[in-house]
Amino acid sequence: MSPPRKRDTAPTAPLLPPERRERVRAGLLDGYDRQKRDLPWRRTRDPYAIWLSEVMLQQTQVATVIPYWERFLQRFPTVEALASAPLPDVLAAWRGLGYYSRARNLHLAAQEVVARFGGRLPSTAAELLTLPGFGRYTAGAVASIAFGESAPLVDGNVARVLSRLFEVEGAPGDRAREARLWALATALVPGERPGDFNQALMEHGATVCRPENPLCLLCSVREECLAYRHGRVDELPPAKVRAAPKRMTLAVAVWAHAGRLLLARRAEKGLFGGLWELPAVEVDDDTPAPESAARLSQALGTPVHVEAALGTVRRQLTHRALSLRLLRVTGTTHPTHAPAFQELRWCTPQDASSLGMSTAMHKAFEAALDAGALAP
């Protein structure tokens, strides 16, 4: 007797009969037309402004993004204006939004748009994907919303909606699951108003098909929802297992001279790349002050010694628990360049306020001033 066949657990291609596809599309678009939020980037047709909103909305809440988006557009109103701005100015305008690689890529992509496309953002997802910072999601969003291309997109909200509507199994990050979600998004988007349809999917996930307590009784596609029909809304999608944030400790040099503090601009790559800071080096939790001084001396290319510990600033990032240990240091020379940094400057607090600094380092800078770093 042959052994029983194993159940095939691999997700199969989505079964999406044309009538069902049309009902899902119509239901989501109808819900969107009736209840969409009035967001400022939905009132513009400017592809650059739409692109900017999509970049800012990655990893940042809508309410936080709105004032940043408005200020950024005032400061850099066109692709050309952004492309010709110095990177530190762009990073300064980004301060508080986090994930600074987004700003660096935005700046690089603007320069490429000017150089390769005459300052006009290309209109297809395939061309957009050739620009820095454009992944499949951003390319699909800009191509569909700004240019009306039937390009699919999947973000966290869309993944949740599709998982429930079509009972897609698997945990976030599972490759077979991701492939199925993209296949579903690709099958659904062709038709009228592809940009609005993609926004309808995202809006549905943000406002109705929420992670907790989805509003199924108000849902415009409830009749089509397999998770609702099978009582599995709470199971889909399964929660993502998050890794604990990594601890990171920095020894931060608070070096005052003639009413100024020494500031340094970090190398482009890595955490806070390209941003200004009180010069800092990574240390272990238990590194003693003399050892921290030795590492700071090496980074600054001149000997420093620690006069006093000024306290610790803690900041929780998504993937890191940061401790910034403030050390008042002095040295016999006053460097103007250093091996580990792109630039050094001796700044008054007013000079420093116009430099691109991370929120964490800004807090450290203020803590240093509060601790009397510049007190006579």
- Residues forming contacts to ligand SF4 in the complex (CB under 6 A) are 161, 164-165, 208-209, 214-216, 219, 221-222, 225, 227-228, 233
* Closer CB to ligand SF4, 233 or 347, in the complex: 233
* Closer CB to ligand SF4, 31 or 133, in the complex: 31
Q: Coil, helix or strand for 224?
A: helix
Residue 194 Cβ vs ligand SF4, minimum distance, rounded to whole Å: 20
Neighbour-count burial of 180, counting CB atoms closer than 10 A to its CB (0-12 exposed, 13-18 middle, 19+ buried): buried
Q: Which residue in 165, 56, 156, 61 sits closest to 105, CA to CA? A: 56
Q: Between β-strands 260-265 and 343-347, what pairing exists: parallel, antiparallel or unpaired? A: antiparallel
7 vs 14: CA distance, rounded Å: 18
| Residue linked to tokens 């240390």 | 283
**19, 54, 169, 277: which is the annotated catalytic residue?**
54
Q: Coil, helix or strand for 205?
A: helix
54 is catalytic: yes
Q: Which residues pair with 309 in a beta bridge?
A: 327
* Closer CB to ligand SF4, 208 or 252, in the complex: 208
Element housing 249 (H / E) = strand 246-254
266 neighbors 275 (Cβ within 8 angstroms): yes
318 vs 84: CA distance, rounded Å: 31
CA-CA distances (angstroms) from residue 339 to 264, 297, 326?
A: 11, 10, 21
- Give, in degrees to the nearest 5, the angle at Cα 273 between 267 and 274: 70
- Give, in degrees to the nearest 5, the angle at Cα 14 between 13 and 17: 130
110 vs 270: CA distance, rounded Å: 21
125 neighbors 26 (Cβ within 8 angstroms): no
Q: Coil, helix or strand for 114?
A: helix
Residue 211 Cβ vs ligand SF4, minimum distance, rounded to whole Å: 10
Q: Where would I find the H helices in 95-155?
A: 101-117, 125-128, 136-147
Asked if the bond preceding 237 is cis, omega within 30° of 0, the reply is yes
Residue 2 Cβ vs ligand SF4, minimum distance, rounded to whole Å: 40
Q: Which residue in 141, 150, 153, 177 sits closest to 47, CA to CA? A: 141
Residue 236 Cβ vs ligand SF4, minimum distance, rounded to whole Å: 8
Q: Which residues are catalytic?
A: 54
